[in-house]
Amino acid sequence: MKKPIRLIFFICILLSPALSQAHAVVTQSSIHIAPVKADKATEVSLSFNSHIELALSRFILITEGDQQQAVKARNSNKAGEVLISIPALKTGEYALKFKVFATDGHLTEDIIRFKVIP
């Protein structure tokens, strides 16, 4: 009798919505949809599968030679979307490193690489 109860308990845990959104994952990025143009400041969007606490999150632009520069971010009017201000850049390869704190209390860190085109 104990085995079916345990099985039901574990199935409920696995199907729990709180656990399915345990970390903030990027579901869409404007960097991959529309390329960043050279010599023009750009606002890019990252959509996450959960809400983000911006006051506890960091966004870093990584340029050639691994130079790092903090960039500003703000919430969009869409749930889970963050808008990041990218300064004017020269043609080349860059990365956006972020460490975001989801409202569910989980910290996620990732890097998105992108190209700036003429």
In this prediction, residue 19 carries a pLDDT of: 44
In this prediction, residue 23 carries a pLDDT of: 80
* Range 107-115, long-range pairs (CB < 8 A, 24+ positions): 108/23, 108/24, 108/25, 110/26, 111/62, 112/26, 112/29, 112/31, 112/32, 112/46, 114/31, 114/32, 114/35, 114/36, 115/35, 115/36
pLDDT bin (cut points 50, 70, 90) of residue 3 is low
In this prediction, residue 59 carries a pLDDT of: 98
* Euclidean distance between the first and the last CA atom of the chain, given in angstroms as a whole number: 68
Q: Domains in the chain, please, with CATH?
A: 23-117 (2.60.40.1220)
> Which pLDDT tens digit goes with each residue over 40-59?
999 999 999 999 999 999 99
> Which pLDDT tens digit goes with each residue over 88-114?
999 999 999 999 999 888 999 999 999
Average pLDDT value for residue range 3-32: 63
